[in-house]
Structure 1
Amino acid sequence: MTTTALGTLTWERAVDRPDLLAASTHAAISGWAVVDPTVADAVLVAAIDPDLADTAAMTDAYALPLSASVNCVLVAGRRAGEERTAACLVRATTRADVNNAVKRLLDVRKASFLPMDRATDESGMEYGGITPLGLPAGYRVLADAGVAVDDPAAGGMVVIGSGVRRSKIALPGALLVRAPGVEVVDGLAIG
């Protein structure tokens, strides 16, 4: 078992705990670990109470710094009848600049958050657990540059969803922004 000093949770290698991950998330992490063997030891998972999956409740319950949490929000917009979708990764202390940065990056007139039912149906993940690791093909994954910045309060780690509400993933922010398909964007987050 791997341990880390992040909050009061017990962290284990995610590749060893498929029971704590959405199937697509486990497949994404396992595939990434084949390409980059450091991933197997660096991407960790911890079980949580599913009723505490929302960021504010989780950080309070498990003594995690709010700045460690990275939210993954799904957005969409249209241009010339074509829908363009993206997952936006921003620290929980900020919010995604959907009306300016995301709209510009997707090259759409208006970008909006996906409704909860659609987000969970299309991602195959549970609300409160949506993660950039294992999203369906076709989603752009946009990460604010601040996600990679080492936060001493979090020991360089960030906490993200696991695809299910009953667990969370922790990994170095600098590693998350190097995950397959992630695009790092300056100014994606505001606040």
Structure 2
Amino acid sequence: MGNTDKFEMIANVYDTPERIQIAKVSSEAIRGYLLDSGNKNAIDFGCGTGLVGLDLIHDFLSVLFLDTSPNMIDQINQKIADLHIQNAHTLCFDLEKESLSDLHADYIFMAQVLLHIQDVEHILSRLFHVLNEGGHLLIVDFDKNENITSDLVHNGFDQEKLADMMTKIGYRDIVSKTFYTGRNIFMGQDASMFVLDSKK
């Protein structure tokens, strides 16, 4: 996944009050789209230190925390151990480089992850194959923001264009909305965030 080296360096200081707050509103936005999820398996894709996934851990039968950064996985493993969580697993893996034919889930959620991925269509296609039939992919990310220019990340996403790309891949019943606006939350700029729900 993009920017793994950067996340390797900041893993042990990642959980700032600002990031914890953004994770909280992100998990609440995701929770609003969950249906009968108590007997479903989920993947927190690009989980980082697990801020979003841990907030949703009791909404699912099990959650797999997946990230490309070994240090981030170490952080989430420590939290799982400290909190005595029984229904969580972790996997350090780069889905951009390799596919996982034996990995399947009813729900995949990703919060502020897509902006770090160079080839968005490629990763969304791979996630489509990971989803069980009828499963949901939930994306939380930043709306397109022309004030941001970066070689490291996308400057957010146009919800309509993202939905069009996902429709071509095979996703259906796509709905999205902007749900949060904050000061200095995206590379030092004021920005808004959207949540998108889609189905296989």
**TM-score with structure 2 setting the length:** 0.30
Structure with more relative contact order (C-alpha pairs < 8 Å, separation 6 or more): 1
